[in-house]
Structures are given as structure tokens and as C-alpha cells.
Structure 1
């Protein structure tokens, strides 16, 4: 259902955001591409912008800032997984071979979060909602429709996410070579190895945005300075393309096939 009005079950992808060197340029690019609304956010949050679609939060874009003398983070879309207790989840992450990139922190009054890296090297975030639960529009044009773990070791990743976040990883009946991420019996994302990626590709989480026309969105993105990583191609689930935004952030767009069961 496109509008999310109930809390995300723990383990479910609930938010995505991008850290970009040029915050305003990133906001402009994605706002024009997906029809988002939003401006630079408050200075106390570094200008972090919550972008909206039809008046509801859909994704975040923030500045890539150095912290504690470390280099700025890379320009990447980060997937956040919901939790009811960020501190307890952080302890499970470290106990099962993951690493916290920063300690659990309060984000004003909206929630608690931390970024982490799993044992195979994929970076993700964990979000405990307080006043803000995450994306309120999903699975429609201009919103996130899929979050995907691409990993160098699917067995190790499956064991980690089960232990740390109670996410099951199991083959999908319609695509046995592909795994579904399952929370409370519902498929909430996907997982696969790196066989179909260029040599040397690190483990990572990928974000897919739904669009009405993949080819026209790719054309618009290229005109705005993006580059094509994977041209629009028909797949079992829809027409998919991979893109790199003008500042290097990778993302995917998909014109999904209609669900047979509605």
C-alpha cells in the first residue's frame, strides 16, 4: 500500500537518505527527477532535508560532513532498518560480527539511529522511531519500492541479519536464485550475491525508486548530469535501469510490472 500509516515492523527498511558534498545540488537533482518537494533543512541538523511526495516524507538528503577528523562519508544512498530499541540492536550488531560506524545517537526528538557495516562490508543504518517513523509514501512513482542487499557472502549475511535484526533470508519461489528479506512472514526486500556485478564491487545496499517510465527518467537524469550504469532493461519484475547521480550516488529506477494478485 503506497501510504504508510502504521509503524514499520522491526527489521523492515523504513527510510533512505543520501549524503552529498553539494547539498543544494543534490536536492535540486532529485526534486526535479522524481517530483519531490522540499528545501534545505534547519542548520542545527546540518541542513538535512526531508523530501516529500504528495506532502508526505519519502527520502532524506543531507550534507557529507567530516566528523571527528574523519574524511567525509561517500556519496551513497543508505537503507535504514527499523528497530524498537536502537541500543539493543547495536549490541546485537557488534556481537554478531558487525561494526558500528558511530555510536547510537539521538536525532532531535524524531528518533534514535546508528550507521553500521555488516560482516561482509555492506553499510546500513538502523532507525528507532520516536516522533518520525520513516517514509510515509512507498511503492509508487517517485518513492522507494525496493531495498536490496548485494553481498559477497550471502550465507554470512543471512546469519548476521537474522541474529541482529531478526530478518529471515530465503529463496524467493518465483526466482530461486534470488533471496527475499522476510520480516514477520512478509517479503520486505531482496538479497543476492555479486555475480552480476563488475569485478571488485563491494557489498552494499541498493535503493530502487519506482517510476512511471524508466526510459524517460533515465533520459532526464542524463540531461541533468547523471550517467548510466545499467541501461533500461526489461526484467521479470519490470523495466530497470541503474544510474549514478552527478555527485556519484548510485541508485536504480524501475517501472514495475503490475502485481498479479493486486
Structure 2
């Protein structure tokens, strides 16, 4: 269990879901991840539903804005990266090769943010915390455990984050035939990057939530009207699932390797 009180610049600090049916999404994720919700009114009228685990903020679910809904934009999860000064950082986006989608603005007393796209077209939020640091809980069942840049163009995307935020992109062997790119802040691994695993997937930041059991969670997803894009599968860091919620947002679940080994040890032998 990890309780968070701050985030260093360049670290993924928050995720939220923009969806076409907020109430249905709340019911779905409550059933899959055990979230409870606290409603935070927004200045323009809609409610920002803060998902919590044990009273600690874990993520949020928000309605799509009318323009997105009218344009048929699919529901999607957003990742936010911590920055010390969002105005100064956003001003450097163009020089680093990216584009600014939303200029910096205040989110009441919670913080100040902008939204940018890296050179490969992946969108990400930049968050300067005030009262809201981001996720207060991580790396326990139901909580965010990893954020991953999925891109077909690492040659342009990775230097963007290094130049803009001071993170390091480090290649780490993950087996005899595979290497994975880690984002590091100091000596801490804070995220990663990989190529899309399926054709037609746009470049984006993917979100991963921790679960006790990948198999039980996969069954729950289908029971609640979601679908599985990748059935429970073993990989070096644990057992994973790629899923789509009933409104179309894609997310990932990870049963960490230590929990996978414990579950295997508990299985009866012939």
C-alpha cells in the first residue's frame, strides 16, 4: 500500500475518465475496482466524481463536454504529469516539439493545468498542484499502478518528455527478446513507453490499475457489460488484462507478479 503526499516533476500524478455516461461509468468501475465516489461540483455545472479507496482520492470520472459528445469522441482515460510551474512548462512545449491543446488555467483551488500533445500526437495533461496533489493512493488493489506512453514514434516522443520535464528514458531488458523503455525521475521509475500492440491504436497515454486477481476482475468486467481486448495473460511483471468499459474507454489491469506467484502457490496440486 502506498499513500502519496506529493509528486516530483515528470511523474504521472492523476488520471480521469471523460465519458458519455457518467452514472453508468461510476457503477461499472465501482463494481470492478471497488471505488466509492465523492461529488465535486465544477464551475460550469457538471459534477467531477472523485473516486476514492478508503477515503483517499484514486481517480475521477467526468462527463464529456458537449462538443466532444456531439463530435462522437470516444470515452477515454487521461493521464496528468506533475510539473512545478505549468505556465513555464507549457511555454516550452513548442520548442520541445509538441503542441498546446489547452493553455494553462486554474481549476478552482485544486491546481493549475494545461493540456498538450507530444510530437507523436499523444495527449497528456500537465498538473501544478495546489490543494489537489493528484492520486493519494497508488499500487494497491483498485488504485493506479502504472502509466504508459503508447507510441509508434518513440524517436520523437521520448526526447520531448526528456527536454520538457527533465525525465530520463531508459531501456530495460524484460526478457531474452524484449526491451522496455522506462521513464525515470532521479532513480525512480515513474512510467514507461511501448509500441501499440494492436493495429489502428492511436498514440496515447495508457492507464493501469492494480487488482488482486486478473482473472476474477476479467470475469467481473464482462458481467458488468465491459469487454476484454486481451484476456488475462502472464508477463514478467505480473498477470494483465486489457479491457474496454461499456462506454468505450480502454484501460489495463495488473495483478503484480508477487500476487500472481502467491495465487499459483495456493492452487491445489494433482
Gaps of 5+ in 2: 260-270
Q: Within the alignment, does 1:34 sit opposite 2:33 as a pair? A: yes
**Which portions of structure 1, spanning 4 or more consecutive aligned residues, are displaced by more than 6 angstroms?**
none
Q: CA deviation at 1:222?
A: 0.6
| Residue 127 (structure 1) aligned with residue 140 (structure 2) | no
**Are the counterparts in 1 of residues 174 and 236 from structure 2 also a CA contact under 8 Å?**
no
Residue 52 (structure 1) aligns with: 52
8 Å CA contact 1:19, 1:64 repeated in 2:
yes
Q: More displaced, 174-183 or 217-226?
A: 174-183
What residue is the counterpart of 1:217 in the other structure?
A: 217
**Contact persistence 1:84–1:128 (CA under 8 A):** yes
| Mapped contact 1:27–1:39 kept (Cα < 8 A) | no
Deviation at 1:173, TM superposition (A): 4.2
Q: Which residue of 1 aligns with 2:195?
A: 193
Q: Deviations over 1:103-133 (max 9, x none)?
A: 1110000100112111101111111001110
Compute the TM-score of the two structures, normalised by the length of structure 1. Answer: 0.92
Structure 1 residue 193: Cα displacement: 2.1
Q: Which residue of 2 aligns with 1:238?
A: 238
Which structure: larger Rg? 2
Match of residue 24 from structure 1: 23
| Deviation per residue, 1:24-49 (Å, 9 max, x gap) | 11111111211111144315362111
Q: Number of residues paired by the alignment?
A: 256
SS for the counterpart of 1:189 is: strand
Q: Deviations over 1:208-261 (max 9, x none)?
A: 1000011111111111110110000011110001000000000011100129xx
Q: CA deviation at 1:163?
A: 0.9
Counterpart check, 1:181 vs 2:183: yes
Partner of 1:13: 12
How far has the Cα of 1:66 moved from its partner? Answer: 2.9
Structure 1 position 69, deviation (Å): 11
Q: How does 1:142-157 map to 2 (within 5 A)?
A: 142-157=142-157
- RMSD (Å) for aligned C-alpha atoms: 1.9
Q: In 2, are the aligned partners of 1:24 and 1:40 still within 8 Å (CA)?
A: no
Is the 1:64–1:72 contact (alpha carbons within 8 Å) kept by the matching residues of 2? no
For 1:78 and 1:182, the matched residues in 2 are separated by 20
Q: Which residue of 1 aligns with 2:77?
A: 77
SS of match in other structure, 2:141: coil
Q: Which runs of 5+ in 1 are unaligned?
A: none
Instruction: Say whether the 8 Å CA contact 2:35–2:52 is kept in structure 1.
Output: yes
Higher strand share goes to which structure? 2
2:98·2:118 contact (CA, 8 Å) conserved in 1?
yes
1:164-184 CA distance string (max 9 Å, x none):
111211101445611001112
- Specify the SS of the correspondent of 2:47: coil
Q: Give the direction of change, closer, same or farther, for the CA distance of 1:13–1:68 in structure 2 (3 Å limit).
A: closer
Q: What's the TM-score once normalised by structure 2's chain length?
A: 0.90
In 2, the alpha carbon distance for the partners of 1:43 and 1:96 equals: 32
Retained in 2: the 8 A contact 1:66–1:73? no
